Structure 1
C-alpha cells in the first residue's frame, strides 16, 4: 500500500513518520525549503526528533518501507491513499479560508487513480469535505465520487509542543464515505494509534466532533477571562478564586489568558460561519471569541493604568515583552495573540523589545516584522516587563534584574512566584 501525506507541518510530518514505520509513505509539500530541511533530518517545528526522522527517511521513492520527501507532483501518482493535512486558517474578517485545502484537493485530483481513498484531517465545519473538497477532486480528475474514488475524515488532534499527548497516544476519530471505506480507514489508523480509534457513522459527524472540541475550550477560557476582568475590579486574586473553586470535584479548572494558535482561536469561526449560512446566529460561540480576542488590548490597557498610577510616563517608556509564540514551550507563532498585545503597547507610545528563546527569529521577522532580542541587554533597564508566555526557560527568570526601581511587572500567566510581601 502506497500512502501520500500532503502537507508536512505540525500535523502531517508526525503522521507521515508514524505511518512510515509500517507503510510505504511519500511526504509531499509545496515548500522546497521544507523538503530540503527534512532531507537533512531537520524539523523546524520540533515535533519530530532528528533520530526519528533519520530512522524512517528513505532516499529513493522506490524503497518499499519508510518515507520519501518530495515537492514534485509526479512522485505522488498512483497512490492507494492520500491524506491531506494542510492548514485551515481564517481571513482578516474571520471567515474560513479554504485556499490551502482547495489547492491540496486540486493536487490530489491531478494524480488520483480509480479506487484510491482521500482522507482529510484539516479542521473544517460539518459538511465541508463533501461540499468543497470532493467536487474539486472530481473536477480535476474526471472521476466520480464513491464510484471511482472514496473519501474519509479523521480529525487531527495534535497538540504542538506536547511530548506526552503525542499522536499515537490520542484516540483517533475515523469516518468514511461508504461503510467499506470507513472500515479501511479505521483499520489503517488502528494499525498505528496505540490509543485506539473511535469510528463514527459519517464524515459530517467526524467533522463536527473536532470543531466543537476547540469551540468548547474557547468558550470555557472566555468565561474565566470575563471572571478575571470582574475580579480585577473587585481587587480579588483570580487564581486564588479558581484554586478554591477547584476543590469541588466537578469544577473545570481553566485559567485566563490570551487565546491564539491555529486551532482554538480559529476553529469556532468555522462552525459559526456554517451556522450563519443556515440562518442561525451562534451567540455563545461568537461571544466567547469576542471576549478572548479582547484580552490583548485589555492587558495593554491594564499595564498603562498601573504605569500611570506609578507616575511612569508612557510615551517612550521601554517595555520588555517576554514570549511571542502562541503557547508555552512551542515555537509556533501562528495566530499568536502576543502580537496584538505588542501592537497595542506600541499604539500607547511604548518602545517594546521582545525576547523569546524558543521562537525562530527569522520566521518572526518575516511573519510578524519584529526583530527579536538575541539576549536581554544587561545595560538596559525597562519601565515595564511583561511575561506573556510561560516557557520553561522563564521558570527561573527574575525580571527585577532588568527593570527600573519604579516599574511595572505584569505576569499574564501567573508564572512568577512572589513571597508574602509581594516580592519576586
Structure 2
C-alpha cells in the first residue's frame, strides 16, 4: 500500500547530484516541491529540461511537477527545507562549511514556527545541531527545537550509477526527537523504496555517513600501497590481486586515483572533529596521504618510462584520456587526474586531455586545463588511460595506441585492458 504523504511543501536547496534527483523523487511521490539553486544558469537550463550534469534525463525533467527557482522569495511558501549543498574542504584540508551556512542563512528569513529543516550534506558529528541550528535561529529570530525542527538524513548518491539510485538504497534518517523523526520518515518513506533506517540521534547519523566513505578510502589506500610496493618488486599488482581474490573473504578493491566530492574529502571531516576532541587519527590520515599522492606517483612512473626509451620528457607530448573523477560520469569535483597533469607540467611535459564526459568550459574554469575536442593520430609519446569511460573501452587498446608514435608508452591506470596491451599499470 502506498505511504501517505505529509502536507509539507518541500524546498530542496542545491540542485546538483544530490538535490536534483531528490527533488524529482519527492515530486513523483506527490509533494509540492521547489528545487532551489543560486546558479541562475543551471536553474534556467533545468527549466528548459536539461541537466548539465547528465544525471537526470530530459524526459524526467519534462514530466516532473517540481518547480525550479533561483529566487529566494519562492522559499517562503515552503514548510520543510532539505539542504543538499556541497561540503568541500579548504586548501589546508579542513572543512569548508560556508556553503552550508549560506544555505541556512538563505532559508532563515522565510521560516515560520513549526518548519522543518533537514540537512543531507556530509558533515562531521555535531554540525547540524551546533552550527546549522544556531545560524537558523539567529537569522530567523525563531527558537531552535521548539519553533524550528531539525533533522539529518545523509545522501548516498553515487554519480553515474543507475543501479544504486536514491530509491534503491536504504536511507538513514534522524531528528531532534521522535515526533520530528516520524515527520522526517513520512517525507522520505514514499520516495525511498528500499526503506529507511531510523538512527538514534542526529550525531549518530552524521557519524555513520562520514565513516562510510572513510572505510572505502582506507581500503583503496591499502591496495594503492600494495601497488607502490609491487612496482618496486617488479610485480603486476592486478595479477597479485586476482590471485589473492580466489580466497572467499578477500575484498575486491583495486588501486587507483581517489577523487570526487565524497571519498577524497569526507575523511578530513572526521579527522578534523577527532582532533577537536583531542585524538590524532593516524590510520585515516595515513590512508589519505597515500591516496592524495597517487597522481604524482603515476606521473613519475611515466617520466621514468619515457627516459628509459630515450625520450626527453621536456620534448614529449602526452595524451591523458579522461579527466572526471570516475568513469561514465561528468563530475570533475576533486578529480585527481589533475594531479597527474600538474606533476607532468613540473617536468615540462606537454599534456593534452581528452574526455567525452567532462564539460570543457568547466574544466578550463576550475583547473586551467584546456581539453582537446579529439586526440590526434600518431603524435603522442605516451598515452595515459586515466578514467575507464566506456568510450575508451570500446575504442580498444589498438585504437588508443594509434594516437601515439611508434614505441609510445601506454599507461593503463584502471586496468581497462589486458596486461599484454599496456606498458604500465598501477
- Asked if the contact 2:298/2:340 (under 8 Å) is kept, the reply is yes
Cα displacement string for residues 273-312 of structure 1 (whole angstroms, at most 9, x for unaligned residues): 0000111000011000000001000111100111111111
- Relative to structure 1, the CA distance from residue 318 to residue 2 in structure 2 (aligned partners, 3 Å threshold; closer, same or farther) is same
Partner of residue 58 from structure 2, selected from 27, 50, 64: 50
**Aligned residues, how many?**
414
Superposed, which structure 2 residues align to 1:122-133 within 5 Å? 122-133=121-132
Cα displacement string for residues 164-201 of structure 1 (whole angstroms, at most 9, x for unaligned residues): 11110010000011110011101211111111111111
1:342 aligns with 2:341: yes
Q: Distance in 1 between matches of 2:394 and 2:69?
A: 42
Structure 1 residue 422, shift from structure 2 partner? 7.6
Q: Which residue of 2 aligns with 1:405?
A: 406
Superposed, which structure 2 residues align to 1:150-299 within 5 Å? 150-299=149-298
Q: Distance in 2 between matches of 1:320 and 1:17?
A: 39
1:8 aligns with 2:7: no
- Asked if the contact 2:409/2:423 (under 8 Å) is kept, the reply is no
- Asked if the contact 1:78/1:113 (under 8 Å) is kept, the reply is no
SS at match of 2:298: helix
Q: Distance in 1 between matches of 2:342 and 2:59?
A: 40
- Cα RMSD over matched residues? 1.5
- Asked if the contact 1:312/1:407 (under 8 Å) is kept, the reply is no
Q: Which residue of 2 aligns with 1:389?
A: 387
SS at match of 2:382: strand
Q: Which residue of 2 aligns with 1:27?
A: 35
- Relative to structure 1, the CA distance from residue 116 to residue 312 in structure 2 (aligned partners, 3 Å threshold; closer, same or farther) is same
Structure 1 residue 12, shift from structure 2 partner? 0.3
Q: Which of 117-126 and 365-374 deviates more?
A: 365-374
Q: Distance in 2 between matches of 1:189 and 1:253?
A: 32
- Relative to structure 1, the CA distance from residue 422 to residue 155 in structure 2 (aligned partners, 3 Å threshold; closer, same or farther) is closer
Cα displacement string for residues 61-92 of structure 1 (whole angstroms, at most 9, x for unaligned residues): xxxxx211111111111422100000000011
Q: Distance in 2 between matches of 1:300 and 1:237?
A: 18
Q: Which residue of 2 aligns with 1:62?
A: none
Structure 1 residue 315, shift from structure 2 partner? 0.9
Q: Which residue of 2 aligns with 1:310?
A: 309
SS at match of 1:77: helix
Superposed, which structure 2 residues align to 1:56-135 within 5 Å? 56=64, 66-135=65-134
Structure 1 portions without partners, runs of 5+: 57-65
Q: Which residue of 1 aligns with 2:350?
A: 351
1:369 aligns with 2:368: yes
Structure 1 residue 401, shift from structure 2 partner? 0.5
Cα displacement string for residues 32-80 of structure 1 (whole angstroms, at most 9, x for unaligned residues): 1011000001001111111011101xxxxxxxxx211111111111422
- Asked if the contact 2:411/2:423 (under 8 Å) is kept, the reply is no
SS at match of 1:143: coil
Cα displacement string for residues 233-269 of structure 1 (whole angstroms, at most 9, x for unaligned residues): 1111111111111111111110001100000000000
Structure 1 residue 420, shift from structure 2 partner? 8.7
Q: Distance in 2 between matches of 1:110 and 1:339?
A: 40
SS at match of 1:47: coil
SS at match of 2:243: helix
TM norm structure 1: 0.96
Cα displacement string for residues 366-414 of structure 1 (whole angstroms, at most 9, x for unaligned residues): 1111111111123x51111100000000013222201111221111101
TM norm structure 2: 0.95
- Asked if the contact 1:79/1:113 (under 8 Å) is kept, the reply is no
- Asked if the contact 2:412/2:422 (under 8 Å) is kept, the reply is no
- Asked if the contact 1:127/1:204 (under 8 Å) is kept, the reply is yes
SS at match of 2:53: coil
- Asked if the contact 2:14/2:37 (under 8 Å) is kept, the reply is yes
- Asked if the contact 1:296/1:337 (under 8 Å) is kept, the reply is yes
Q: Which residue of 2 aligns with 1:40?
A: 48
